[in-house]
Amino acid sequence: MIAGEQAEAFEIIGGKGDCGLLVLCDHATSVIPPEFADLGLSAEQRARHIAFDIGAADVTRALAAEFHCPAVLSRFSRLLIDPNRGEDDPTLVMRIADGALVPGNARIGEAEVSARIDRFYRPYDEAIARTIRAMRRTGKNPVIVSMHSFTPEMKGRKRPWHITVIWDFDPRLNRTLLDALGREPDLIVGDNEPYQGGYRGDTMDRHVIRAGLAHALVEIRQDLIATPETAHAWGKRLAGVLRPLLNDPDLYEARVHGAHP
């Protein structure tokens, strides 16, 4: 068993270490500790997608419950520092996020960025690494599903997809998941929408692609999972789609398909 654990920067939901599935949620919450004074943002701004992936944490919890599998979730807003970026990525700390000036980040210096890396980014990163190591020690490589959500529209353009899969390099789970979702008659499914997968230094690159682990990054449109009830229902539905796919023994072989330059 993987033990549950909670710290300032992360939460680990405990589960069966040999179950073969680990769920990640990089942008689980909008929490900003009091000493950061909300980064100068209003409550309305902090409730937007710029602060977290709306609904993604509840979907993650539903998946963990369905599969009795471990999950690792962040416990800090992406506005403090984005754990789904490389440490050298210029968007690691956003000064302007989807048109909103973030006053608490506007004049941030290297020392403060380093402090946030040490306090939030690296503990979350190590929680993922530690959980993957523990699961691999059981003799069974975990398949990784990373849960995110996307806005119904961006810059005036509506996004028609209900659910999308973002991927690069490894087609194993990504391709079969896309095919399975495509057979759902009421779903509009996006393949690398609303953006292309494959970012050097992101969570999947650091922990999953480089290790050759089968994986999928799943995005669900935020208006569909905006309440705990709808997010839970989507989690159960996604679990139903995933369950037969995870019977493929090919998914549990570590296989490096490529590497970012």
Round to whole Å and give the CA distance between 212 and 194: 25
Chain center to CA of 68:
18
CB of 72 within 8 A of CB of 84?
A: no
List all residues 6 or more positions away from 99 whose beta carbon is below 8 Å from its beta carbon.
Answer: none
Q: 221 or 155, which is more confident? A: 221
Instruction: Please write the tens of the pLDDT for every residue from 102-118.
Output: 999 999 999 999 999 99
Full domain range(s) for residue 146: 5-252
Does the residue 83 lie in any domain? yes
Range list of β-strands (E), 81-213? 96-97, 100-101, 143-150, 153-154, 157-158, 163-166, 189-191
Chain center to CA of 66:
18
CATH number reported for the structural domain that contains residue 201 in this entry: 3.40.630.40
Instruction: Please write the tens of the pLDDT for every residue from 6-50.
Output: 999 999 999 999 999 999 999 999 999 999 999 999 999 999 999
* pLDDT number for residue 99: 84
Q: What is the mean pLDDT of the chain?
A: 95
Phi (first) and psi of residue 41, to 5 degrees: -100, 150
pLDDT bucket at 261, cuts 50 / 70 / 90: very low
Query: 98-108 burial by CB neighbour count: b if 16+ within 10 A, else e?
Result: eebebebbeeb
Determine the average pLDDT of the residues in 83-95.
96
* pLDDT number for residue 258: 55
H/E run at residue 71: strand 71-74
Instruction: Please write the tens of the pLDDT for every residue from 141-188.
Output: 999 999 999 999 887 789 999 999 999 889 999 999 999 999 999 999
Count of structural domains within the chain: 1
pLDDT of 259 over the 80 cut: no
Does the residue 142 lie in any domain? yes
Does the residue 107 lie in any domain? yes
